[in-house]
C-alpha cells in the first residue's frame, strides 16, 4: 500500500465491496463510517471547491461533519480513526455523467478491439479468442474503429470468414453504433441480399447489393437478436466486474446511459448483497414494456444508498464515426448522406410528456445537428421547463441557432471531452470547416449560460475520468498534439472541468443537496489522488494516479 496510508490505518482498512483483486489481510478490521478523520492533505473544499492545503475532513456515519485545518480538526477529534492523506489531494467524489455499466462489463469479458491499428490486428485478436473457444460458440468483441486504420473504409466479412471458419462472430464498433458480422452469423440471422434495411438502420452492401457484414444503428438488431442472451449470473458477474473497474478509476458514481430490466435487477441484487461498490443513477432504455412498468411504479430514488432509477434514455440519431449522426446538410465526406434518425420526433415528444407526468427525467442521445434540433423541438412540444432538467446526451454537433434554445429551456448538455480528442483526426472531414465550429463546443454552451455534465461514454472511451479532465482543459492527445490544442477557444479551465465531473453532474441527477462538493452535511464520497492535483501542469493531468476511492465514508478502492 502506498505511503499515503498511515500504518495504523492499514490494520483498520477493509474493502467491504471486494473492489480490488487483492484481499484484505486476516488482521484487517473494517473501517466504519463513524468518527474517521481524513487528515493532512489538500482538500477541494466548499461549494467553490477551493484547494485548501493541510486540511482535513471529519466523517461520521458516511456524512461529512466538518472540514477545516488539519491541526484544528485533529485537536477537536481526539481518538478518531485517521486516514493519512498527506501528499495527496481529496476531491469530491468524481461522477461520470454518461457511461454504460453492462457495456463495460461485457467489454471486459469479450475480445477487446480498442486501439487496433489495422483490420489484420482485429483478425489476430479474434483468432486468439477462437483458439480458446469451443467450435460453433459465438465470439463477441468491441472496440474497432476504421478511422484509426490505414484503410479508412468499413471492413468486410470476407477476411473474417477466411480467418474464423467454425464460429459465428459479431464485433461491435467502438461507438456501439455499428457492428461487423461474419457470414456464419449472417446465416444464422437469415440476412441475405433480399433483407431490407430497417427503419433507422442501414445494412452496408457491395456493388451487387450483397451485405458486406457491417450493420449500422438499428440494423444491428438483426444480429443482436440472435446472439445468445447471458445468464443472470453472467450478467451479474459482468456488472460487478465493471463496477470494480469504475471504482478503481476513482469514480464514486456513474450515470448509466440506458439500462434494461435485467441489468437493473443485477445491480439491485448486488446492492442487496452489499457487494456493489459505487452509486448508479440509471436511465431506463427506451422500451415500451420497460417504460410502462416504471411509469406505473414511479421513480426509485437512493435505494440503499447505491441505486436511483428516475431517468429515460432515448436515441435521436446515430454516431459521427459511422456516419449515422443525423445532419441538417449532407456529410462533407459522403455527399447525399445525412445520417439516420433512430426515433421520430413524435415518439420523443410522447415519451417526454409521459415522463414529465410521472416524475422522470429524459436524457436523449443526439450527436448530429439535425438530431439535436429534433430533440429540442420534441422537448419543447412536451412542455419542458428548467425544473425538469432534461438532458441531451453528447450534444456533439449543434447549429448556431440552437445553443440559445438549449440554454433558455434549461436543457443540460451531457458531454464527453474525450470524444473531441478521439475524433479530432477525422471529424472535420465529416463536417467541413464551418460546421465543425459548433461541434464539441463546451465553451460556447457555458458562455451562453448553459450547464454541462461531463462523462466518458465508456466503453466507447476509457473509463478514466482524468483523461476527460485533461481533454477538456487541453484539447490535445496524450502526446500534446496539436500544439495549443484543437480549436482551443473551446477549452475549459481546470475548475470548470472538475465541476463538470462533480457538482454539475450532481445537479444533472438532482443530487446537488447530497453530493458534488465537500461540505458538512453531504455524503462522504471522495476521490483521493496523489500529490497536489491543482499544482499539476495541464500536460500531466491525464497521468493523475488514484490513491483511494471513498463512497459513504467507506474505502471501496485503494492502490497498492
Q: What's the pLDDT at 26?
A: 29
pTM, to two decimals: 0.88
Whether pLDDT at 59 is above 60:
yes
Q: How far is CA 415 from CA 261, 332, 341, 514, 523, in A?
A: 26, 23, 20, 22, 25
pLDDT for residue 34? 60
Q: pLDDT tens across 141-156, in order?
A: 999 999 989 988 999 9
pLDDT for residue 27 is more than 50: no
Calculate mean pLDDT across residues 42-66. 97
Per DSSP, what are the bridge partners of residue 550?
526, 555
The last residue of one of the domains, among 187, 207, 224, is 224
Residue that finishes a domain, picked among 224, 242, 266? 224
Q: Would the pLDDT of 48 be above 90?
A: yes
Both 347 and 379 in one domain: the answer is yes
Are 35 and 132 found together in one domain?
no
For 107-111, 222-226, 275-279, which range has the lowest pLDDT when averaged over its residues? 107-111
Same domain? 111 vs 89: no
| pLDDT tens figures, 384-422 | 999 999 999 999 999 999 999 999 999 999 999 999 999
Do 71 and 111 sit in the same domain of this protein?
no
Residue 486 forms part of a structural domain: yes
In the chain, the number of structural domains is: 3
Contacts 24+ apart (CB under 8 A), 288-295: 290/260, 290/261, 291/351, 291/354, 293/261, 294/358, 294/360, 295/354, 295/355, 295/358, 295/360
The pLDDT score that the predictor gives to residue 421 is 98
**Owning domain of residue 375:** 316-490
Give exposure, 7-23, as e/b (b: 16+ Cβ within 10 Å): eebeebbbbbbbbbeee
Beta bridge partners of 313: 285, 363
Average pLDDT over residues 226-241: 95
Residue 99 is assigned to a structural domain of this protein: no
**Residue 542 shares a structural domain with residue 440:** no
Helices (H), strands (E): how many in the chain? 19, 23
351 found inside a domain:
yes
pLDDT tens profile 167-185: 999 999 988 889 999 999 9
Are the C-beta atoms of residues 144 and 175 closer than 8 Å to each other? no
Give residue 377's pLDDT: 98
Cα–Cα distance measured from residue 463 to residue 87, given in angstroms and rounded to the nearest whole number = 25
pLDDT of the residue at 176: 87
Same domain, 390 and 450: yes
First to last CA, the chain: 4
Residue 497 lies in a domain: no
Reply yes or no on whether the pLDDT at 498 is more than 90: yes
**Among candidate residues 20, 38, 129, 27, the one with its CA nearest the CA of residue 77:** 38
Cell of 294: 416504471
Residue 443's pLDDT is what? 98
Tell me the CATH number at 173. Answer: 3.10.310.70
Looking at residue 534, its pLDDT comes to 97
- Domain limit, last residue, from 224, 243, 272: 224
Q: How far is CA 489 from CA 216, 371, 414, 444, in A?
A: 33, 24, 19, 9
Residue 443 shares a structural domain with residue 530 = no
What is the average per-residue pLDDT within 443-464? Answer: 97
Which of 356, 367, 268, 256 minimizes the C-alpha distance to 313?
A: 256
The span from the CA of 332 to the CA of 432, in Å, is 6
> Are 331 and 421 contained in the same domain?
yes
Measured distance CA(510)–CA(443) in Å, rounded: 23
CA dist., res. 294 & res. 238, Å (int): 24
Cα–Cα distance, 392 to 397 (Å, whole number): 11
77 and 141 part of one domain: no
pLDDT bracket for residue 160 (50, 70, 90): very high
- pLDDT tens digits, 276-307: 999 999 999 999 999 999 999 999 999 999 99
Residues 546 and 441 in one domain: no
| % of the chain beyond a pLDDT of 90 | 89
Q: Residue 412: give its domain's CATH number.
A: 3.20.20.140
CA 332 – CA 369 distance, rounded (Å): 14
Residue 453 main-chain phi, psi, to 5 deg: -125, 130
What is the model's pLDDT at position 167? 94
Report the CATH number that the domain containing residue 551 is assigned in CATH: 2.30.40.10
pLDDT band at 3, cuts 50/70/90? very low
Asked if 391 contacts 504 with a C-beta cutoff of 8 angstroms, the reply is: no
pLDDT value for 175:
87
Residues 482, 345: one domain? yes
Q: Is residue 550 in a domain?
A: yes
- Mean pLDDT of the residues in the chain: 92
376 domain residue, yes or no: yes
**pLDDT tens, position by position, 335-393:** 999 999 999 999 999 999 999 999 999 999 999 999 999 999 999 999 999 999 999 99
- Asked if residue 543 and residue 479 are part of one domain, the reply reads no
Q: Which residues contact 357 (CB under 8 A, 6 or more apart)?
A: none
Q: Please report whether residue 330 resides in a domain.
A: yes
Q: Is the pLDDT of residue 527 over 80?
A: yes
List the grid coordinates of 173: 464498433
**Is-contact 452 500, C-beta < 8 A?**
yes
| Residue 87 confidence (pLDDT) | 95
| 382 in a structural domain | yes
Q: Are 46 and 499 in contact (CB under 8 A)?
A: no
Residues 6 or more apart in contact with residue 453 via CB below 8 angstroms:
97, 98, 255, 391, 412, 413, 414, 415, 500, 504, 505, 507, 508
Residue 165's pLDDT band (cuts 50, 70, 90): confident
Amino acid at each position: 500500500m502506498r505511503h499515503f496510508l498511515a500504518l495504523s490505518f492499514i490494520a483498520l482498512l477493509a474493502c467491504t465491496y471486494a473492489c480490488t483483486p487483492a484481499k484484505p489481510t486476516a488482521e484487517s478490521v473494517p473501517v466504519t463510517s463513524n468518527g474517521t478523520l481524513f487528515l493532512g492533505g489538500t482538500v477541494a473544499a466548499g461549494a467553490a471547491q477551493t484547494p485548501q492545503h493541510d486540511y482535513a475532513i471529519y466523517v461520521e456515519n458516511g456524512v461529512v461533519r466538518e472540514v477545516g485545518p488539519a491541526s484544528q480538526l485533529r485537536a477537536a477529534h481526539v481518538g478518531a480513526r485517521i486516514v493519512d492523506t498527506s501528499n495527496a489531494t481529496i476531491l469530491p467524489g468524481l461522477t461520470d455523467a454518461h457511461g454504460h455499466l453492462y457495456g463495460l462489463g461485457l467489454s471486459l469479458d469479450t475480445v477487446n478491439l480498442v486501439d487496433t491499428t489495422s483490420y489484420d490486428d482485429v483478425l489476430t485478436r479474434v483468432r486468439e479468442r477462437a483458439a480458446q473457444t469451443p467450435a460453433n460458440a459465438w465470439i463477441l468483441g468491441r472496440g474497432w474503429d476504421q478511422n484509426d486504420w490505414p484503410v479508412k473504409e468499413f471492413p468486410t466479412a470476407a477476411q473474417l470468414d477466411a480467418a474464423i471458419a467454425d464460429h459465428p462472430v459479431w464485433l461491435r464498433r467502438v461507438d456501439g453504433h455499428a457492428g461487423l458480422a461474419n457470414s456464419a452469423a449472417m446465416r444464422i440471422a437469415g440476412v441475405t441480399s433480399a433483407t431490407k434495411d430497417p427503419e433507422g438502420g442501414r445494412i452496408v452492401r457491395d456493388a451487387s447489393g450483397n451485405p458486406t457484414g457491417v450493420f449500422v444503428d438499428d440494423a444491428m438488431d438483426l444480429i443482436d437478436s440472435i446472439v445468445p442472451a447471458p445468464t443472470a449470473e453472467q450478467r451479474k458477474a459482468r456488472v460487478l466486474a465493471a463496477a470494480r473497474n469504475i471504482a478503481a478509476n476513482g469514480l464514486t458514481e456513474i450515470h448509466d446511459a440506458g439500462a434494461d430490466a435485467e441489468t437493473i435487477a443485477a445491480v439491485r441484487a448486488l446492492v442487496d448483497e452489499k457487494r456493489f461498490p459505487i452509486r448508479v443513477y440509471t436511465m431506463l432504455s427506451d422500451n415500451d414494456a420497460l417504460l410502462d412498468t416504471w411509469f406505473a411504479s414511479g421513480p426509485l430514488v437512493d435505494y440503499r444508498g447505491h441505486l436511483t432509477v428516475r431517468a429515460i434514455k432515448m436515441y435521436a440519431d446515430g454516431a459521427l464515426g459511422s456516419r449515422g449522426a443525423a445532419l441538417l446538410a449532407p456529410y462533407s465526406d459522403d455527399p447525399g448522406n445525412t445520417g439516420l434518425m433512430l426515433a421520430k420526433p413524435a415518439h420523443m415528444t410522447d415519451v417526454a410528456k409521459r415522463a414529465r407526468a410521472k416524475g422522470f427525467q429524459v436524457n436523449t442521445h443526439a450527436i448530429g445537428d439535425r438530431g439535436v434540433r429534433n430533440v429540442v423541438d420534441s422537448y419543447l412540444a412536451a412542455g419542458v421547463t428548467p425544473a425538469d432538467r432534461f438532458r441531451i446526451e453528447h450534444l456533439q454537433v449543434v447549429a448556431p441557432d440552437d445553443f440559445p434554445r438549449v440554454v433558455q429551456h434549461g436543457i443540460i448538455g451531457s458531454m464527453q471531452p474525450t470524444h473531441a480528442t478521439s475524433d479530432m483526426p477525422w471529424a472535420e472531414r465529416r463536417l467541413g470547416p464551418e460546421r465543425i465550429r459548433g461541434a464539441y463546443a463546451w465553451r460556447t454552451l457555458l458562455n451562453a449560460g448553459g450547464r454541462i455534465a461531463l462523462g466518458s461514454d465508456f466503453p466507447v472511451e476509457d473509463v478514466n475520468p482524468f483523461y476527460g479532465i485533461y481533454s477538456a482543459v487541453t484539447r490535445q492527445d496524450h502526446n500534446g498534439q496539436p500544439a495549443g490544442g484543437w480549436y482551443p477557444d473551446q477549452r475549459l479551465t481546470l475548475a470548470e472541468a472538475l465541476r463538470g465531473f462533480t457538482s454539475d453532474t450532481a445537479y444533472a441527477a438532482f443530487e446537488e443537496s447530497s453530493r458534488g462538493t465537500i461540505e458538512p452535511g453531504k455524503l462522504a464520497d471522495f476521490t483521493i489522488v496523489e500529490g497536489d492535483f491543482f499544482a499539476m501542469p495541464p500536460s500531466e493531468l491525464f497521468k493523475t494516479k488514484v490513491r483511494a476511492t471513498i463512497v459513504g465514508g467507506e474505502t471501496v478502492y485503494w492502490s497498492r
